Structure 1
Amino acid sequence: MTGLRYVYAVCRPFGTPLQSQLTGIGGAPPGLLHHHGLVAVVSQVPEADFGEEALKAHLEDLDWLAATARAHQGVIDALTTVTTPLPLRLGTVFRDCSGVRSMIEAREDDFRRTLERLEGRVEWGVKVYLDPEPPEPAAAVAARPGSGRDYLRRRRESTHAQEDRWQRAEAFAGSLHERLCRYAEDSRLHPPQNSTLSTTPGQNVLNAAYLVPRKHSEEFVETVDRTKGEAPGIRVELTGPWAAYSFTGEGQS
């Protein structure tokens, strides 16, 4: 194998082969590097793209970054179907296989502890959104009185209504989180997504990840599904199952 070594994940040895058509970053098929009873999932990448300076420049290129992240995630998704992977940070690169082995030796104890904790578990993501208020009909707007006092009264009423909707959404999200934690061994409450930067409509009230044993995943999903449509104007989105990114201790780019 020539070129640099890109490492997607570390896992325990597994017997089920990866998909024969699976490709990673740059179209190269991922391989398995066994060392000290652990497995690093690696592929060859060109130094012209993944050398230190080149990688730093590429990380400012959103199109390149998105394509690389998709390829990285594709390998992790494939691994999740056959084992419990510990995903590494996007852009984890070493000069050669010796560098990968040295990394495994330096972090061996942490890898083993984390893999033991994650074995048989997956990550589910749940987001709760407060939908935008529907626009008032044009006829109602045209019929409004035009005085300044009426305008201020309408503004106050609109503000109070929005505050009430937000409080109801927060209460709903808190209740849902409590219910979901009954099936999860751990959870992470991530900062809400910025509505001005997101392409998803509405305000993000809950942005959470849950570490769920596979044997409880069906109940977890059913609990989320039962809440959909439970509260008018509030939308629930479920994603997963994923490798347990939020619970590995690995920073994600």
Structure 2
Amino acid sequence: MNDAGTYLYAVTRAEGSAPAEDLKGVAGEAVRAITHAGLVAYVSTVPLDRFGEEPLRRSMEDLDWLSETARAHHSVVEAVARTTPTAPVRLVTVYSGEDQIRELLDRRHDDFTATLARITGRQEWGVKAYVDPTAPPSGEGGEKDEGTTSPGLAYLKKRQASLRSREENWRQATVRGEHIHDVLKSVAVASQRHRPQDPQLSGRAEWMVLNGAYLVDLDRGAEFARLVAGLRGEGIDVQLTGPWAPYSFAAFAEPTRGEPTRGETGDDP
């Protein structure tokens, strides 16, 4: 069908692969499995008038559409990942048809196999750390007002002190973010620091000084969660999310000519 494309969610090994029955994906389309070269690709058929290159450019600017599509995509990935090691594919990866999917499994077979070996027995955890920018830096003593300064000069001094305070607050916050990341990656087998989220996406006005992803052995998940809990306090809020399918640790090279255009919503699952 030249008016339909094949939407790819994830790849697993054929051995122990999860059934695709009853799974619904993006746009409410049924999910099916394509088995080839010892691997399984989980896909849906999608209309190109909504998922073709040009329509996608418009749709990716629609936050409601993007949110709905991301939820459907992630629900398929998480359902598959509950039963077998799963390599998620970036959101909105659309191929021309099943033949192109099989060609992908052939061409990237070693990449998929290596990724699946790396993530087997492991899960991704997300950690975000926030600091209140209005809190005074630790050790700040404040300046004495001798009562002899003119109102204009007093205002300038107060303004300069406020700027110095904010800069010092940011410096201390970033140091703490680095420290938290160093502590957590000592327990993880792999880690990545993502860009801080825009406050409109995070819903928080505080500075985000850490947006990290950590690949952790299954038997160390509880230990990792306790470590995160122990890093909270003293003006810093550390939030733990997950466990997730390992989105941050299953990335592949950007598509070459002849492959699909990929869209993505951001750093987190």
Q: Per the shorter chain, which TM-score range?
A: 0.7 to 0.9
Which position in structure 2 is the counterpart of 1:71?
Answer: 72
1:48-81, Cα deviation, whole Å (9 max, x unpaired): 2123333333223332222111111111121221
Change (3 A) 1:19 1:35: closer
Distance, in Å, in 2 between the alignment partners of 1:167 and 1:132 is 11
Conserved? CA contact 2:124–2:244, under 8 Å: yes
Is 1:88 aligned to residue 92 of structure 2?
Answer: no
Distance, in Å, in 2 between the alignment partners of 1:110 and 1:17 is 20
Distance, in Å, in 1 between the alignment partners of 2:230 and 2:187 is 15
Which position in structure 2 is the counterpart of 1:35?
Answer: 36
Is 1:223 aligned to residue 227 of structure 2?
Answer: yes
Aligned counterparts, 1:54-133, within 5 A: 54-133=55-134
Which position in structure 2 is the counterpart of 1:167?
Answer: 171
Amino acid at match of 1:243: A
Runs of at least 5 residues in structure 2 that lack an aligned partner in the other structure? 136-146, 255-262, 265-269
Choose from 152, 175, 192 the match for 1:188. Answer: 192
Choose from 182, 196, 203 the match for 1:199. Answer: 203
Distance, in Å, in 2 between the alignment partners of 1:170 and 1:53 is 40
Change (3 A) 1:194 1:50: closer
Aligned residues: 243
Which position in structure 1 is the counterpart of 2:160?
Answer: 156
**Worse overlay, 157-166 or 201-210:** 157-166
SS in 2 for 1:83: coil
SS in 2 for 1:200: coil
Runs of at least 5 residues in structure 1 that lack an aligned partner in the other structure? 135-143
Distance, in Å, in 2 between the alignment partners of 1:123 and 1:208 is 10
Distance, in Å, in 2 between the alignment partners of 1:207 and 1:51 is 32
Change (3 A) 1:115 1:132: same
Which position in structure 2 is the counterpart of 1:141?
Answer: none
SS in 2 for 1:89: strand
SS in 2 for 1:55: helix
Residue 198 of structure 1, CA deviation: 5.0
Is 1:235 aligned to residue 237 of structure 2?
Answer: yes
Distance, in Å, in 2 between the alignment partners of 1:16 and 1:110 is 18
